[in-house]
Amino acid sequence: MYCPHCGKHTDHEVERVRKRKASELKKGQRRFRRVTSGFGGFPRPRYEGREKPTKRVSIKFRCVVCKSAITPPTQRAKKFELVEVEQ
C-alpha cells in the first residue's frame, strides 16, 4: 500500500479501531452525569428498535517502515474479520 509519509509503496499492518473509554472530564460527559444523576432518569428516549443490519467498521493501516498510521473513511459491513495471512 502507498504510504504518503514515506512517499513509496510499503507493507502495512491492519488493525481495527476500537472506541476508547470516554473521559469523565470532558464537558459533554460532565453535562451527561449532571443530567442523569438524581431523580428523573435518562435525559433522552432510549432506542427501542431492531439493530441495523450493518455496522460501520473503522480500519487503521500502519506502515511497517515509518510506523505512521493511515485511516481511510469508514465502511459498512455485516461481518468483519481480520485473518492472519502467512507469507
In a domain, 25, yes or no: no
* Number of domains making up the chain: 1
Q: Pairing state of beta strands 2-3 and 8-9? A: antiparallel
Structural element, H or E, at residue 36:
helix 27-36
* Residues 29-82 pLDDT 10s: 999 888 888 887 787 777 788 888 999 999 999 999 999 999 999 999 999 888
Q: How many residues does the chain have?
A: 87
In a domain, 30, yes or no: no
Q: Which domain holds residue 71?
A: 1-19+54-76
| Cα separation, 41 vs 57, whole angstroms | 32
C-alpha cell at 67: 510506523
Q: What CATH number is attached to the domain comprising 68? A: 3.10.450.80
In a domain, 45, yes or no: no
- Helix, strand or coil, per DSSP, at residue 69: strand
Which pTM value belongs to this model? 0.66
In a domain, 7, yes or no: yes
In a domain, 69, yes or no: yes
